[in-house]
Amino acid sequence: MVNFQTSHRPPRPNQVLKRHLKSNSTTKVLLLFRNLLRKGISSIDSFSLLFVIKACTQKSLPIEGKQMHALVVKLGFETNIFLQTSLIDLYSALGDIGDAHHVFDEIPTKNVVCWTALISGFVDNRKPNKALQVFRQMQIGNVEPDQVTLTIALSACIDLGALEMGEWIHTYVNRRKELSKDLCLINALINMYAKCGDIEIARRLFDSTKKKDVTTWTSMIVGHALHGQAEEALGLFAAMKEENKRTRAKKTSYDSWSGLLIVPNDVTFIGVLMACSHAGMVEEGKKHFRSMIEDYGVKPRLSHFGCMVDLLCRSGLLQEAYDLILDMPVQPNAVLWRTLLGACGTRGNIDLAAEARAQILELEGSRVDDNIIMSNIYAAKGMWDEKIDVREKMKQRRAPGCSSIEIGSLINEFVTADDDHPLKREIYEALGYLIETMKAHGYSPGKSSSSLY
C-alpha cells in the first residue's frame, strides 16, 4: 500500500490578511500589506485592498485609509463596487461624510449595498434628514431597498420624528412578503412607531408578531416607558418573564429550553427603570435594579444609574440620589449631576444644588440652564446678592432650539429667526396672518415671569 503525503502549502497572503482582520489585528494587517507592497504591485489585488480598507475602518485610521484610496485609483480599481463601497464606509467612520458622498457619486452603476452604505453613513454622522433624502433618491433611481436599508431608514425616521415616512416604509414592507417576515425589520417598525408618537400602532404590531425575541419585547417596554405608561411597561416585563416560565415547563431538559428563553438585556432594564421613575415606584425600581445585577448578571451602565438617580430625585430623595452618584463604580457624567441640580431647584435644596453645580463646572463648564436654576434657587431663598452674581456671570445665551415639520416626504427644520428656507416669504406671511387672526379673536401674547432677559 502506497502512502501519499500531501504537502501543506503556506496560506496565501489574502487569507492571512482576512484572518488578521477577523481577529481585529489591525497592526498585523497593515504590516503584512506593507511587506506585500515592497515585493511589488503584482503581489496586491482588489481583495488585498479590501481587507486593508476594512481594517482602517475598524480602527478609524485616516492617513492609512486615504493611502489605500490612492492605491485604489493608482491600480485602476475605481470601478470595483466592493472597494468603492468599503471606501464609503471608511470615510463615514472617519466622520468625513462629504468624501463618502463623493466616492458614491463616482460609482457608475450603483447597487443597493452602496446606497445603503451612504444612507448609513449619514445616520451615523447625525444627519438623518440627509439620510432620508438619499433614501428617496434611491427610490427615484428604481433601486429596491432591502431589509438593511429599510432598518437604517427607520432609524433616521426615529431621529427626526418622521412618522409619515415610517408609515410609508411599513406599507412598503407589507407589500413585499419576504420583508414582512423579517423580525429585525418588524422590531425596527415597533421601535419607530413607539418613538415617533404612535404607541397604539406599535402595540398592535407587537401583539400581532407571533415570534418575538428580546429586541421585540424591549422595544415595546421602552416605548411604553417613554410615553409614561409605567403600568403597561412593567406589565409587559412581567409577561415576558411569565413566557419564560411556560417555556421551561414545556421542556424537560435544560438544553431543550435554554436557547428559547427571552433573556432581558441592559436596554430592557433601562425601559423597566424608566417606567419605575415615571410612576415614582422607588422600591419597585430598587428591586429591579438589584435583580438586573444579581439574577441576570447585567453590569449597570451610566444609563441605568441615570434612571435610578432620576427615580430618587423625582421622589424627593435628593440625599439618597447624591449618595448613589458618589458610590457609583463608574465616573458620573454631567447629565447625572444636572438631574440632581434640577431636582434641587424644584425642592429648594441649596447645599446639594451648589455641590452639583460645582461638579458640572468641573466636568463640562458653565451652561446657561444650570445658572438659571441656581439663580432661581437663590431668589426663592431671598439671597439676592448671590442671584445677581450668578446673572452677571452668564455670558452665553441658550442654544436655539430646532423644530422640524414633516410635509409629505420632506422634513423641514427651523430655528428662531430662521431665514434660510427657500419659502421663507410665504412662511412668514402665513405666520403673520395667523397672528393677526388670533389677535382678532382676543389673543394677547403674555410675558414669562421667570425670564431672566
- The pTM of this model reads 0.79
DSSP labels for 81-102? HHHHHHHHHHHHHTT-HHHHHH
What is the model's pLDDT at position 248? 73
Q: Taking the CB of residue 135, how many other CB atoms lie within 10 A of it? A: 25
Could you give the residue ranges of the DSSP H alpha helices within 280-411?
282-294, 302-314, 318-327, 334-347, 350-363, 368-380, 384-393
Cα 293–Cα 297–Cα 300 angle in degrees, nearest 5: 50
Amino acid (1-letter code) at residue 217: W
Please state, in angstroms and rounded to a whole number, the distance separating the CA atoms of residues 206 and 172: 18
- pLDDT bucket at 6, cuts 50 / 70 / 90: very low
Say if residue 397's pLDDT is above 70.
no
Q: Report how far residue 439's alpha carbon sits from residue 433's, in angstroms, rounded to the nearest whole number.
A: 10
pLDDT at 442 over 90: no
218: cell is 424591549
The string of pLDDT tens digits covering residues 265-289 is 999 999 999 999 999 999 999 999 9
pLDDT one-digit tens code per residue, 16-34: 999 999 998 889 999 999 9
pLDDT digits (tens, 9 = 90+) for 98-145: 999 999 999 999 999 999 999 999 999 999 999 999 999 999 999 999
Give the amino acid at 418: D
Please say whether the beta carbons of 381 and 348 come within 8 A: yes
Q: Which 8-state DSSP code applies to residue 11?
A: P
Give 440 or 256, the one with higher predicted confidence. Answer: 440
Structure confidence at residue 250 (pLDDT):
73
| Per-residue pLDDT at 218 | 97
Q: Collect all residues with Cβ–Cβ distance below 8 Å to 188 and sequence separation of at least 6.
A: 150, 151, 154, 155
